[in-house]
Amino acid sequence: MNFFYSKYDDGIYQVRNICGIKITTKPLKNKINLLLSQINEIKLKVNNIENQVNNIPYFYRDIKVKLNHIASEEYNYDKNIFNKIKPPYISIIVPIYNIGREYLVNCLDSLVNQTLKEIEIILVNDCSPNKEDNLICEEYASKDKRIKYIKHKENKGSGGARMTGLKEAKGYAIGFADPDDTVALNAYEIAVSRMLLNNTDIVCFNYYWIENDEITDMHINIQQFLYGYYILHLLCIEKMHAPLWDKIYKKELLDKLDCDFIPENIYSQDMVGLFKIFSISNSLEYIPIPLYFHYRRKESVTNIVNNKYIIDKYEAIKNIFDYSKKLNICDVDIEMYNFFVTFYRLTYTFIDIKFHKTKQTENDINIHNIQRELLKKLIIDNIKDGYITEEIFLDICDKRNLWYLID
């Protein structure tokens, strides 16, 4: 029977089969109206999506960083906890040198869009040769009163830029962010609330390491709370993250240190500054979720291995030695020696990693051998100059199975 006759279909037209022949008649008025309303509804949705996209921070539209910028784990707390302190609740210091739009805009978007609104963002332009860096900073500072923009008259390195920002900071807590990195949008709300809840000097969190579009969760296996000597000990035996930017610090803690505790214009200034901070801290809380996104650009200063990178280790070790002796605390001296050996080991490893990423031409091999010899000379110079005795150095290498350092 269906072959001879069928009712019209569900579209806007009347379509019938009569004796096997498809006949289409005029469209039904009510079907046309239905379709038009559906089209208008779709247009409205599309417009809403486009408006939302335009309001989304820049980094969400970058496919390289389509990560979880709002930490998935919920940290429930009483919102009134922030009433204990005066705003700004945290000052975030960003040293800027030769970054460019692609990374700098991403970084600043992740800061101005923090869920914790009562913050201070201090941008320190360390004589960047990239004019675009200055224009971007001025643009953001003009739109957001929470941003303080400072320009150096002379280059002082990221350590000097951080110290400049710290001298201007008014926050209860201090955070550091690198200008080519991004921060989870609720990172500082979580971190500061934990600091207030547990009255800790330092709050440390996980981060993602992103290099060549590969993402690694840099989880560390330590307990939630650390106290006293144990904080410094874990740093010096490499059980603790070494950068400054994956932690926040009570400003009153940092105020106890010298006004130049982060050295200028040397590599490894993060580890030097962190050693000093940890040596006077009483409590640390570790949050085992990634709240920070660290990008390793090829042109990044921290991604360069050259002779200066190795030679600067001597200045870093001298800086720590002088600081440790000034404290005159036995436990700090013991950890200082562990710290020195850790410094050597990390430098040795970094030299090798960089070499294996090269084409390993004859020139690459020569550079690699020169850098290894330079590191050995550094170790000998440190022993000769009394920063560490040969006996202690050999003993630590033996206990930690670092025999390759003394080949």
Contacts of 20 (CB under 8 A, 6+ apart): 3, 4
Q: How many other C-beta atoms can be found within 10 angstroms of the C-beta atom of residue 239? A: 12
**Amino acid letter, residue 48:** N
Contacts of 180 (CB under 8 A, 6+ apart): 99, 103, 104, 107, 295, 297, 300
Q: What is the DSSP letter of 406?
A: G
Q: How many other C-beta atoms can be found within 10 angstroms of the C-beta atom of residue 278? A: 25
Q: How many other C-beta atoms can be found within 10 angstroms of the C-beta atom of residue 261? A: 21
What does the pLDDT read at residue 190? 94
Q: Which of 125, 88, 75, 81 is nearest to 251 (CA)?
A: 88
The string of DSSP codes covering 27-94 is EPHHHHHHHHHHHHHHHHHHHHHHHHHHHS-GGGG-GGG-S--S-SS-----GGGGGGSPSPSEEEEE
Q: Which of 370, 271, 353, 393 is nearest to 311 (CA)?
A: 370
What does the pLDDT read at residue 249? 98
Contacts of 142 (CB under 8 A, 6+ apart): none
Query: Is residue 320 classed as helix, strand or coil in its secondary structure?
Result: helix
What does the pLDDT read at residue 211? 85
How many angstroms separate the CA atoms of 328 and 147, rounded?
Answer: 40
In this structure, are residues 91 and 120 in contact, taking their beta carbons and an 8 Å threshold? yes
- Cα distances (angstroms) measured from residue 170 to each of 54, 86, 143, 177, 324: 33, 10, 20, 17, 28
Q: What is the mean pLDDT of each run of 10 residues along the chain (407 residues)?
A: 44 54 56 58 47 38 46 71 96 97 94 96 97 97 98 96 97 97 94 96 94 86 94 94 96 94 91 96 94 80 67 91 88 92 89 83 88 89 93 91 77
In this structure, are residues 27 and 13 in contact, taking their beta carbons and an 8 Å threshold? yes
What does the pLDDT read at residue 368? 87
What does the pLDDT read at residue 297? 74
How many angstroms separate the CA atoms of 49 and 51, rounded?
Answer: 5
Q: What is the DSSP letter of 228?
A: T
The structure tokens listed for 205 are 């969190």
In this structure, what are the phi and psi dihedrals at residue 381, rounded to the nearest 5 degrees? -65, -40
In this structure, are residues 152 and 168 in contact, taking their beta carbons and an 8 Å threshold? no
The radius of gyration computed from the CA coordinates of the chain, to the nearest angstrom, equals: 29
pTM above 0.85, yes or no: no
What does the pLDDT read at residue 40? 60
E strand intervals along 147-211: 147-151, 173-176, 182-183, 202-211
Q: Which of 124, 381, 157 is nearest to 273 (CA)?
A: 157
How many angstroms separate the CA atoms of 320 and 277, rounded?
Answer: 12
The structure tokens listed for 391 are 């006996």
